[in-house]
Amino acid sequence: MFFCNVSIAEKYNYLDEKFTVAYKWLAETDIKNLPEGFYPLMGDDVIAGVQEYSTSPWEERRFETHEKYFDIQYMVTGDEMFGVCKRDGLKEIDRIDENDVVFYSDPDLYGQVLLREGDLIVVAPEDAHKPRCAAGVPAPVKKVVVKVKI
């Protein structure tokens, strides 16, 4: 699954070597037994970050975007609600350039995707997303966020 407007559908190649390296690593690696940390898959162009945390209530999380990287967010264990909307028109509330992240206030309209074990979503720089949200009540999850450089 990837999420975009038809006007940019051909802007990115989601089957570019950087993406296929990430998909292959996600499919073939025993991530359940990997410790938290960063794993370079293609130098600085593709980096997997293994995370373990407890999801949070929707109201405690923020929408975010990235300028230099795509996110491939992959659920290893657990369930998570994941907000999605377009970046255009959002009200910026914080920016941390060294971490390539911009945070926004919640828009009036947005979508949500339920990510379950084995699911992934690819988020482009034009897409705002709200990760780490509880699917019901907060619960522990293990997730990989693969950063794919533009």
CATH topology of domain 6-149: Jelly Rolls (2.60.120)
The per-residue pLDDT of the chain, averaged, comes to 93
Mean pLDDT, residues 59-84: 96
| Residue-wise pLDDT tens digits, 22-38 | 999 999 999 999 999 99
Instruction: Locate the domains of the chain by residue range.
Output: 6-149
Q: Looking only at Cα atoms, what is the longest distance across the chain? A: 41
Which pTM value belongs to this model? 0.91
pLDDT for position 1: 47
End-to-end CA distance of the chain: 19
CA pair distance 87, 129, nearest whole angstrom: 9
